[in-house]
């Protein structure tokens, strides 16, 4: 190779490298999803609640003991049924109990909020039993309520026996079910607040103690917002967690793991590489024709979100279903049609297309006016 040809080759290489760099800086290179991680947990699910997307699954439907992640169900029922400031007296039926405790004694008084603090941060089995007895009168009766609520949430591979997660009978759930439960817990503001707290005060009568959250993921990931750890010799290490990043929340549930902190961090790196938030197209029709109305059009509106969560590379489109016209009268809020928000090949959201205003019916002429009009038309025809 002569000198001039060598310089040409070098120049071409430099131009190619510079072009690739500019494309990367300007966003011209597509995002490449991470590879699915290898994890220690026997079962796992990565779930995006808003879209319903399951981004990763490993043996997701096998029921396994879930230890203290069970307390998410106990907390959910308490948040849905009880006043956080209601005062509860610890009954003898709730104590004693094995495993982790906050140190309650029979006759202690504390609020529901304090019980939830001890339940979610310190994983108190005594607080779980107190809440269960307070809500249902006994632990077996509360288990029935837990299973009823699980069915309502679509948890099809679960059996709740204890409010604390202690192994008893067939107490178990699948990773998919626990991800659904975690998403439901995040919808309760008080529970979301407590699950995200690294520390929180708890009052037992006149005593005040400060509890630390067992969930170390709150320190390992700054955008972690919960949720609950669990461990027994039978269940292994269990964890239901949530991370909110770039306006997207993912819930990860793992059962029977060894290194569950690294499992979850790897699953979040993978899960967030697969999803993006995209704007919903602004392509709705402004109005619909009205027949027999005082005006010929009625304005339309639809309660669509500004943006939606999709897989990377999916298109967001709107499909409008609207009749050629509607009959007057039309009242504001009347359903005129519907809008389907489609992500890729699936319908993600369906909302009604409604009238934004009202259109009165055009007044009908009085009977004598109709007769007079007909007579005049007949007379005019005869004169012609």
43, 123, 158, 235: which one is catalytic? Answer: 123
Q: Which residue bears the tokens 């298109």?
A: 315
- Among this protein's residues, is 43 annotated catalytic? no
71, 158, 228, 241: which one is catalytic? Answer: 71
Long-range contacts of residues 77-82, Cβ cutoff 8 Å, at least 24 apart = 77/131, 77/135, 77/142, 77/145, 77/146, 77/149, 78/112, 78/115, 78/116, 78/119, 78/131, 78/135, 79/116, 79/188, 79/190, 79/191, 80/188, 81/135, 82/112, 82/131, 82/134, 82/135
Q: Is 351 helix (H, G, I), strand (E, B) or coil?
A: strand
* Rounded Cα distance, 102 and 115, in Å: 10
Measure the N-to-C terminal CA separation of the chain; round to a whole number of Å.
Answer: 103
- Among this protein's residues, is 174 annotated catalytic? no
Q: Is 254 helix (H, G, I), strand (E, B) or coil?
A: strand
Q: What is the DSSP letter of 93?
A: G
Q: Which residues contact 105 (CB under 8 A, 6 or more apart)?
A: 90, 95
41, 43, 51, 68: which one is catalytic? Answer: 68
HSE at residue 184, side-chain half, CA atoms within 13 A, is: 23
Q: Which residue bears the tokens 């790897």?
A: 266
- Among this protein's residues, is 235 annotated catalytic? no
Q: Among all residues, which ones are annotated catalytic?
A: 68, 71, 123
């Amino acid at each position: 190779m002569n000198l001039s040809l060598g310089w040409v080759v070098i120049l071409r290489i430099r131009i190619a490298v510079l072009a690739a760099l500019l494309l990367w800086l300007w966003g011209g290179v597509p995002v490449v999803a991470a590879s699915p991680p290898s994890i220690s947990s026997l079962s796992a699910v990565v779930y995006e609640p808003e879209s319903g997307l399951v981004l990763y699954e490993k043996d997701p439907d096998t029921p396994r003991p879930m230890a203290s992640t069970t307390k998410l169900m106990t907390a959910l029922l308490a948040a849905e049924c009880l006043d956080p400031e209601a005062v509860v007296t610890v009954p003898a039926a709730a104590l004693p109990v094995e495993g982790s405790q906050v140190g309650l004694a029979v006759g202690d008084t504390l609020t529901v909020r304090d019980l939830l603090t001890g339940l979610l941060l310190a994983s108190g089995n005594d607080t779980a039993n107190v809440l269960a007895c307070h809500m249902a009168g006994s632990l077996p009766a509360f288990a029935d309520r837990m299973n009823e609520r699980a069915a309502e949430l679509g948890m099809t591979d679960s059996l709740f026996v204890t409010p604390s997660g202690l192994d008893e009978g067939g107490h178990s759930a699948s990773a998919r079910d626990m991800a659904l439960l975690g998403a439901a817990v995040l919808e309760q503001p008080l529970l979301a607040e407590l699950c995200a707290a690294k520390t929180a005060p708890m009052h037992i009568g006149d005593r005040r103690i400060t509890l630390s959250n067992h969930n170390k993921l709150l320190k390992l990931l700054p955008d972690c917002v919960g949720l609950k750890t669990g461990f027994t010799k039978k269940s292994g290490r269990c964890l239901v967690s949530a991370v909110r990043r770039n306006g997207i929340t993912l819930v990860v549930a793992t059962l029977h793991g060894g290194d569950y902190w690294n499992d979850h961090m790897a699953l979040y790196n993978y899960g967030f590489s697969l999803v993006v938030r995209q704007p919903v197209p602004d392509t709705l029709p402004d109005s619909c024709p009205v027949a027999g109305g005082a005006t010929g059009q009625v304005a339309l509106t639809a309660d669509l979100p500004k943006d939606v969560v999709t897989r990377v590379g999916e298109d967001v489109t709107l499909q409008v279903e609207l009749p050629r016209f509607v009959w007057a009268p039309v009242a504001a809020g009347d359903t005129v049609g519907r809008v389907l928000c489609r992500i890729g090949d699936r319908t993600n959201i369906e909302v009604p297309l409604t009238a934004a205003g009202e259109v009165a019916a055009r007044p009908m002429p009085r009977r004598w006016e109709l007769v007079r009009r007909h007579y005049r038309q007949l007379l005019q025809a005869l004169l012609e």
